[in-house]
Amino acid sequence: MILKEEIMQKELSIVIAEVNVIRNALDEAFSELETQKEIMKEKLQSGSDIATVRLSNDFINACANKIKLLEMDLLKAEKKLSEARDRLLDAVKNRKAIETLKNKDHKEHLFKIMKEEQKFIDEIATQRARYREGILQTL
């Protein structure tokens, strides 16, 4: 059971890493978009030709599309993360439930042994008492 739990933890770690990679890429894409907007603003103020402005605008649109795709990827990765967490939580719950049952079974086994030992001690005490009675009756 612990093996399953370890597998789930590794899976969770991988998914967390995926989410972090996507978040970093998204941060970089937002930064690039802001940079390109500033460049576009400077080109417009400097009176650049329409082809340069159009090219810059196309690049800004490409950055915006990249951000949308990364946001969709992030949503999918966060869903995978949630599912991985749920699987790990289930594995932990299962392990704890089994440990509880094993502990309960162990306690019941110890109680049974204790009862058998007490029964044995009682039998010895009964036999001693009968032995003493037998000796006393012969006297």
Q: Extract the tokens encoding 81.
A: 């993360």
The tens-digit pLDDT sequence of the chain (139 residues) is 568 889 999 999 999 999 999 999 999 999 999 999 998 888 888 888 888 888 889 999 999 999 999 999 999 999 999 999 999 999 899 889 888 988 888 888 888 999 999 998 988 888 887 777 776 666 5
Number of domains in the chain: 1
Q: Is residue 82 part of a domain?
A: yes
Residue 118 inside a domain? The answer is no
Structural domain contains residue 53: yes
Whose structure tokens read 């080109």?
Answer: 43
Type of residue at 28: E
Q: Determine the structural domain holding residue 25 and report its residue range.
A: 2-101
Specify if 46 maps to a domain.
yes
Domain-embedded: residue 31: yes
Structure token digits, residue 2: 């612990």
Is residue 31 within 8 A of residue 51, CB to CB? The reply is no
The pLDDT of residue 74? 97
Q: Domain with 50 in it: what CATH number?
A: 1.20.58
Rounded CA-CA distance 79/37 in Å is: 32
Rounded-to-integer distance, Cα 26 and Cα 53, Å: 25
Look at residue 134 and tell me if it is in a domain: no
Chain position carrying tokens 């030709």: 49
